[in-house]
Amino acid sequence: MAKGHKDKVAVITGAANGLGQAFAKRLAEEGVHIAIADIGAADATVKLVQQAGRDAFVSKCDVSSPDSVAAMAADVQKHFGRADILINCAGIFPQQSFDDMTYADWKRLLGINLDSVFLCSSAFVPGMKKRGWGRIVSMSSSTVGSVVTGFVHYVSSKAGIIGFTRALASELGPHGITVNAIAPGLTKTPGAMSRAPRPGFATMDDEFESVAQFQAIKRAEVPDDLAGTISYLTSDDAAFITGQTLNVDGGRVRS
Ligand SMILES: NC(=O)c1ccc[n+]([C@@H]2O[C@H](COP(=O)([O-])OP(=O)(O)OC[C@H]3O[C@@H](n4cnc5c(N)ncnc54)[C@H](O)[C@@H]3O)[C@@H](O)[C@H]2O)c1
């Protein structure tokens, strides 16, 4: 069990599926109660958290909406009375060439992937400051360090998360709050498996196979490959690590 997790409360956005669900399961197994903030149905995640013997609370939330995030934060406060850990995981990754990208597409993606990180952090930092302890971890992406096409808005949002993480860490260090990010590689989640493969690949399985060949570890990444990093970064053991973005991608991107 990671140091300092027992009876903490974590808010995980996008925890109904994929990486967020894997993080909810892992943290619950380590003694953390979980608030799930997602627009989708979260029954499967609730079951996993309850199987681990922890409290699972769901607040339906559109993380790009200030009103919806404010309502979710009020729900969490009412139910748990606190939030010690915030994991900003909700995100979308529609593939779209720059020629086809409209300002509305850009705004929508930045709203869900980046504005959400500002809104959720703003909602929970005051309580963390009051208690003198907090952990914020947001999901960046290895695409920031890769040659990829069709993702100008997405890569911009994920690079924005790195800047946000660095800047906020500087302000919150004196308050016992760390702010970090993780940059996963292409990972087998429902979201990634259901999108169209990039040009040149017939199926998503082909794309996963090809990406793996550029990794030091030559197999497709799965959500559990990231759970240990979340556990560590949100623990007491990582109290002196802040402002960082960790590449957890099988050794593909080096930075
Ligand atoms: N899977 C990958 O290959 C990969 C790689 C790098 C980074 N990431 C990032 O990790 C995060 C999780 O990705 P995933 O693969 O688990 O995706 P996923 O599609 O499997 O799950 C994403 C979850 O976010 C929720 N969500 C979407 N829009 C929302 C909104 N407006 N408000 C609240 N919830 C919303 C969805 O309902 C879903 O439950 C994303 O930020 C993604 O960009 C994923």
Ligand 1 atom nearest 194 alpha carbon: 19
Amino acid at 231: S
CA–CA distance, 81 with 74 (Å, rounded to integer): 9
- The verdict on the CB of residue 141 being under 6 Å from ligand 1 is yes
Kindly give the distance from the C-alpha atom of residue 174 to the centroid of ligand 1, in angstroms, as a whole number: 31
- Going by C-beta distance under 8 Å and a sequence separation of 6 or more, which residues neighbour residue 192? 18, 93, 186, 204
Strands 85-88 and 245-248 turn out to be unpaired
> Residue whose CA is closest, atom 9 of ligand 1?
139
Q: Is residue 4 part of a domain?
A: no
Q: Is residue 160 part of a domain?
A: yes
- The verdict on the CB of residue 184 being under 6 Å from ligand 1 is yes
Per the structure, the complete domain to which residue 17 belongs is given by 9-246
CATH number of the domain to which 88 belongs: 3.40.50.720
**Per-residue pLDDT at 157:** 99
- Catalytic (active-site) positions: 154
Amino acid at 121: S
Q: Is residue 202 part of a domain?
A: yes
**Per-residue pLDDT at 235:** 98
**Per-residue pLDDT at 96:** 94
pLDDT in tens, the chain (255 residues): 789 999 999 999 999 999 999 999 999 999 999 999 999 999 999 999 999 999 999 999 999 999 999 999 999 999 999 999 999 999 999 999 999 999 999 999 999 999 999 999 999 999 999 999 999 999 999 999 999 999 999 999 999 999 999 999 999 999 999 999 999 999 999 999 998 888 889 999 999 999 999 999 999 999 999 999 999 999 999 999 999 999 999 999 997
Q: How many separate domains does the chain show? A: 1
**Per-residue pLDDT at 138:** 99
- The verdict on the CB of residue 190 being under 6 Å from ligand 1 is yes
CA–CA distance, 125 with 166 (Å, rounded to integer): 15
**Per-residue pLDDT at 198:** 83
Ligand 1 atom nearest 63 alpha carbon: 32
Chain centroid to Cα 201, Å, comes to 27
- The verdict on the CB of residue 212 being under 6 Å from ligand 1 is no
Residue 219: its H or E element: none
**Per-residue pLDDT at 250:** 98
Q: What angle is formed at CA 189 by the lines to CA 21 and CA 178, rounded to 5 degrees?
A: 50
- The verdict on the CB of residue 186 being under 6 Å from ligand 1 is yes
**Per-residue pLDDT at 195:** 87
Tell me the three-class secondary structure of 152-178, residue by residue. HHHHHHHHHHHHHHHHHHHHHHHHCEE
Q: Is residue 76 part of a domain?
A: yes
Q: Is residue 253 part of a domain?
A: no
Q: Is residue 252 part of a domain?
A: no
**Per-residue pLDDT at 31:** 98
Q: Which residue matches tokens 């339906």?
A: 60
